[in-house]
Structure 1
Amino acid sequence: MLDDAFTYGGWALGLVAVGVWIWLARRAFPSFESFVTGFDDELQLGASPEERARSARWHQVRQAAVALTAVAALCLSIGFAIPD
């Protein structure tokens, strides 16, 4: 019973994490042109404070997506490790 909760919970969190990653990819790069030009100034040396704040918010969303993916992987590994 406990292994099923971890396994199915991990799968559910994994699906949510995939959805968040897809949403992030769609929001960050709506076209191939913006994908290519997005790498022009990674250090943001000439960026305004508003652009830096927006970038910091996106960084927090990416960190949340990584954490969600890690929790999903952990739950799956615990669910698969518990014997039936």
Structure 2
Amino acid sequence: MLDDALTYGGGAFSLIAVGVWLWLARRAFPSFESFVKGFDDELRLGASPEERARTARWHQIRQAAVALTAVGALCLSIGLAIPD
């Protein structure tokens, strides 16, 4: 029972994480031009405070996606390691 909960819970977290990663990829680079332009000023030295705040928000969302991925992988590995 515990192994099923962890396995299916990990699978659910993994699916949510994949959705968040896909959403981030779509929002971050809607076109190839914006993808290339994103590498022009990596440090954003000339960015306004509003742009820096927006970048910080995206960084927090990326951290949440990484955390969801880690939780999903951990739950799946524990759930699959517990013998039936």
- When the two structures are superposed, what TM-score results if normalisation uses the length of structure 1? 0.98
The residue aligned with 2:15 is: 15
Aligned-partner residue type, residue 36 of structure 1: V
The residue aligned with 2:64 is: 64
Equivalent residue of 2:12, what SS?
Answer: helix
Percent of residue pairs identical: 86
Unaligned runs of 5+ residues in structure 2 are: none
Distance 2:43 2:30 in 1: 21
What is the CA-CA distance between 1:35 and the residue it aligns to? 0.6
What is the CA-CA distance between 1:6 and the residue it aligns to? 0.3
**Map of 1:1-84 to 2, 5 A cutoff?**
1-84=1-84
Report the RMSD for the aligned CA atoms in angstroms: 0.5
Distance 1:7 1:57 in 2: 31
Aligned-partner residue type, residue 48 of structure 1: S
- When the two structures are superposed, what TM-score results if normalisation uses the length of structure 2? 0.98
CA offsets per residue over residues 55-84 of structure 1, 9 Å max, x none?
Answer: 000000000000000000000010011111
Unaligned runs of 5+ residues in structure 1 are: none
